[in-house]
A and B are shown apart, each in its own frame.
Chain A
Amino acid sequence: MNILVCISKTPDTTAKIAFVEGNTKFDENGVQWIINPYDEWYSLVRAIELKEKNPNVIIHLITVGGADTEPIIRKALALGGDEAIRVNNTSNDSMVVAQEIAAVAKGGAYDMILTGKETIDYNSASIGSMLCALLDTTFIPNAISLDVNGNTAIVKREIEGGEETCETNIPFILSCQKGMAEQRIPNMRGIMAARTKPLKVLEATIHNETTSIQQFDIPPAKSGVKLVDPSNMDELVRLLKEEAKVI
């Protein structure tokens, strides 16, 4: 069984968010990069768990990005990916990224493609759904559990106000979120092994962007907190009613 896990590089959750070049570029100065938490903690670790149960599973990793994504891909290999592909395209347009992944997936006969629910930088939650259209394959979003039985997958997914359990056959695409698996730390053996695992670089083939980022802005800071005396909750209720007008 071949699983393709999509890996994205994102700034660490505590990274300072600032912009340069007239607010048109993210300021990468001093930023620590991580694997997008949804990709790492949920899709990748669940793929590894499936492999632990079934040695016939091969975990393929794909990332679309420049050479600076390689440490991230090596970490994903250290966690338990078997081999990796990097498509050398630095576009920020999800449509371009999805088309690059689809081009690889078309040639790969993958039984399942796993993505994270969204990336923590652009928060578009788009790649899984775009792959669904590009590959004409079933897509189940917001998956919180996945079990595979022969050709059938049993998936639980979050819906508004609850959960839904469903079944589908391979091939399929899932976007994964909390519940799917638990975060793991790579061990020394994994880190050593990752150095020699195959990492293939493919040149970019998609160049038509459908969107372009014009500018970034930082939201204005709150004007300052108004402190209310803990013994005067009537005053807080009054402020919420009359000043904030929210209750």
Chain B
Amino acid sequence: MVLIYIDQDEQEIKKASFEAISYGAALAKQLGTHAEGILLGTVKESVEALGKYGVSIVHQVTNSGLNNFDASVHATVVTEAAKKLGATVIVFAHNINGKAIAPAVAVKLNAGLVAGACALPKTDAGFVVTKTVFSGKAFASIKIETPIKVISVNQNSFGVIVGEGNATLENLDLPVPASKIKITSIDKIKGEVPLTEASLVVSGGRGLKGPENWGILLDLAKALGASTACSRPVSDADWRPHHEHVGQTGIQIAPNLYIAIGISGAIQHLAGVNRSKTIVVINKDPEAPFFKAADYGVIGDAFEVVPALTAAILKSKAGA
């Protein structure tokens, strides 16, 4: 059986989990078995509805202490669940929480781990999973040599597959160790899609000259319903908050659309965004290296091009 970890935050199931379930369900089919989910804590929405992504049963450990994330505690409970349910493959999203517990679960189950898988395994000769390495500049095919396998799936690499059906909800009774972490405060930027989950991203670089000029970028993001990102010098100079910094030393993202405005396309920047499905580059320098990594390019002054693009999007939306 393939067991998928269903990640939640403030009692809401994370979008990354839908992709992890879709991946786990496809893998189960490939292995001739079925997929089940494991959810820790309590959530506000319907758990049965997760059936449409491909799980037949969702096991829930309804201990409200589990609503606060503690890597050590969560890894212990998931491990016990995997043992009790007889899972042979455990799948996680490669998001912040998944990254924090999948390796610990692998240790506890004596399982080989592939962290950051970007495709289903090849199972004709062994169990070989492809993952991105060198910050997206290459792929590695990694063979897992152990009977039990742990995989975390890179976000936006497999996609969410929506089918039909409901999952059965089953209560799982497992001991929950006491957490040694006391959470004192949580600070969230309300109403914003976290960058790693965003399917559309508008990003700005030093070419925008200063924080006072970000209005045109924010207007474009609003017109598209996109999240915003920036290059490293922009966040280093505090023009934009640190959590917007993408790249090799920031966050790595793989949205459907990445629009880069006034960003030169340094190798360290590309490493964080080159898995994006479609890249649009707006830059006044035709020699900017970013154009080599782009699908669509506009050579022009951002201060003219960006407002024109926003207007064109609004016009197209109004017409549709």
Contact = CB atoms under 8 A, between A and B. Distances in A.
Interface stretch (B26-34, B50-58, B59-67, B98-106): B98-106
A159 B297 contact: no
Nearest to B185: A165
B99 A141 contact: yes
B106 A95 contact: yes
**Main SS class of interface, B:** mixed
Interface stretch (A12-20, A55-63, A197-205): A12-20
B287 to A, nearest CB: 13
Contacts of A98: 103, 107
Interface residues of A, number: 80
Interface stretch (B41-49, B81-89, B205-213, B273-281): B273-281
Contacts of A222: 279, 292-295
Interface stretch (B157-165, B166-174, B175-183): B175-183
Contact of A160 (B96, B133, B199, B200): B96
Interface in B112-160: 112-116, 128, 130-146
Give the contact-size bracket for chain B. Answer: 35 or more
Given A95-B106, A214-B128, A237 B139 contact: no
A140 B72 CA distance: 9
A233 B155 CA distance: 30
A140 to B, nearest CB: 7
Contacts of A239: 296
Contacts of A236: 280, 296, 298, 309, 312
Given A140-B71, A240-B280, A240-B296, A166 B143 contact: no
Contact of B96 (A93, A126, A141, A229): A141
A159 B9 contact: yes
A160 B196 contact: yes
Interface of A: 11, 13-14, 17, 19, 37-38, 41, 93-95, 98, 118, 120-130, 132-134, 136-142, 144, 154, 158-169, 178-179, 209-219, 222, 225-231, 233-234, 236-241, 244, 246-247
16 contacts: A122-B140, A125-B115, A125-B116, A129-B71, A139-B71, A141-B71, A142-B100, A162-B186, A178-B250, A211-B143, A213-B140, A222-B293, A229-B298, A231-B308, A240-B296, A244-B278
